[in-house]
Amino acid sequence: MATAQEHALRSASALLGRELRLLKVFTAGQHATTLLVSDGEDELVVRSFPAGDGTVAKEPEALRRLRSLGELVPRLVAHRPDLNDPLVITTRVSGSTPDPTLPASTIAREMARALSRIHDLDGAGLPPAPTRPPAGDSPIAHRVRTGFSQLLEGERVLSHGDFWCGNALWSGTHLTGVVDWTHASHAPRGRDLSWCRQDLVLLSSPDAAAEFLDEYESLLGRRITDIHAWDLHAAASAIDRVETWLPNYHGIGLTEMTAELLRHRLDEWNAKL
C-alpha cells in the first residue's frame, strides 16, 4: 500500500500531467500531507487532504484575493476539490520554519506586521467565521458562549484562520511568507490576533503576546477593544486539545517541547483571563 507521501506525489503528478520529484516532506502540520516537489524547472508545494475534506474548494478564492501581497503568499498552480482525493498545488514561498533560537519578541513583531497587511484586504464573500461558539464543558467555554453574539460584532477582515509561527516562513530574523490558507475566512480581527497571541504564550512568552498586540495596534492606529473576549475564544478552542499540537511544535524544530509543558503554559495563561 502506498504511503500518504507516495499517494500525494502520484496524485499531483497526474493532476499536472508531468512527473514530479519529491524534495522534502514538511512536518509542521497535521491537517494535510505537505510536500516540496520539483517538476524539473520549478519547486512547488503539494498539499493532499483527507478524503471528504471540503476546504480545498475554498482556498483558490482566498489565494486570488491575496495576490497583492506578492511573494509573501503562495500562488495557486492547480487544485482538485474532488472529495475523494482533495489536492492543492501552489508555488513555493521562500523561507523555512523559524529558527528555534529566534527570540519570541522578534517573532511577535514580524507576525504583527504581516498580519496587518493581510487584514488590510477585503474578505467579503469568503466563508464567515466563526459560525458557532466553542463546544466543551470548561468554564472558559461557558464564558465564551455567554457573549458569543457580541464577539461577532467586530469589524470583519480577510482572516487567515490558523495564524501561528509554524505557518510563517522565515529567513533569519525576517518573516518571508505566510502559508496554509485552507481556513481563510471573513472574520473579526480578533480571531487571528488571539490565535497568534496564544501561540506566543505556548512558546513561553506572554510578554511577546503583549508586544505582538502593541505592534499590530500601532500599525492599525487604534486599540483592539475586544481582545480579551477573543483570547477567551482561543483558549476555549485549545483547552481540550492543546497536547495534540505537540507534533506541530516538534515539526518546526522545538523538540524540547512536551505535552506537559504545553498544558502548563496554557493553564497559566488561561488562569489570568
Q: What is the CATH number of the domain that holds 245?
A: 3.90.1200.10
Cβ-contact 208, 272 below 8 angstroms: no
Q: What is the pTM of this model?
A: 0.94
pLDDT in tens, 131-168: 999 999 999 999 999 999 999 998 999 999 999 999 99
Cβ-contact 186, 156 below 8 angstroms: yes
| Together in a domain, 116 and 18 | no
Cβ-contact 93, 69 below 8 angstroms: no
pLDDT in tens, 171-190: 999 999 999 999 999 999 99
Is 98 part of a structural domain of the chain? no
Rg of the chain on CA atoms, in Å: 18
Cβ-contact 219, 116 below 8 angstroms: yes
Spatial distance between the Cα atoms of 246 and 166, rounded to a whole number of angstroms: 12
* 34 phi, psi to nearest 5 deg: -120, 125
| Together in a domain, 83 and 108 | no
| Mean pLDDT, rounded, of the chain | 95
Is 10 part of a structural domain of the chain? yes
22 by DSSP, 3-state: which?
strand
Number of domains in the chain: 2
Of 231 and 82, the structure prediction assigns the larger pLDDT to: 231
Q: What is the pLDDT of residue 53?
A: 85
| Together in a domain, 185 and 206 | yes
Cβ-contact 87, 80 below 8 angstroms: yes
Boundary of a domain, candidates 91, 113, 141: 91
Spatial distance between the Cα atoms of 77 and 209, rounded to a whole number of angstroms: 35
Q: What is the pLDDT of residue 1?
A: 63
Spatial distance between the Cα atoms of 213 and 21, rounded to a whole number of angstroms: 41
Cell of 22: 519529491
Cβ-contact 142, 202 below 8 angstroms: no
| Together in a domain, 163 and 215 | yes
Q: Is the pLDDT of residue 70 over 80?
A: yes
E strand map for 150-208 = 156-159, 168-171, 174-178, 185-188
Residue with cell 512558546: 203
Is 210 part of a structural domain of the chain? yes
Is 165 part of a structural domain of the chain? yes
| Together in a domain, 120 and 147 | yes
Is 99 part of a structural domain of the chain? no
| Together in a domain, 56 and 119 | no
| Together in a domain, 23 and 144 | no
Boundary of a domain, candidates 56, 91, 126: 91
Spatial distance between the Cα atoms of 25 and 53, rounded to a whole number of angstroms: 21
Range of the domain at 147: 104-271
| Together in a domain, 242 and 265 | yes
Q: Is the pLDDT of residue 263 over 70?
A: yes
- Check which CATH number belongs to the domain holding 27 and give it: 3.30.200.20
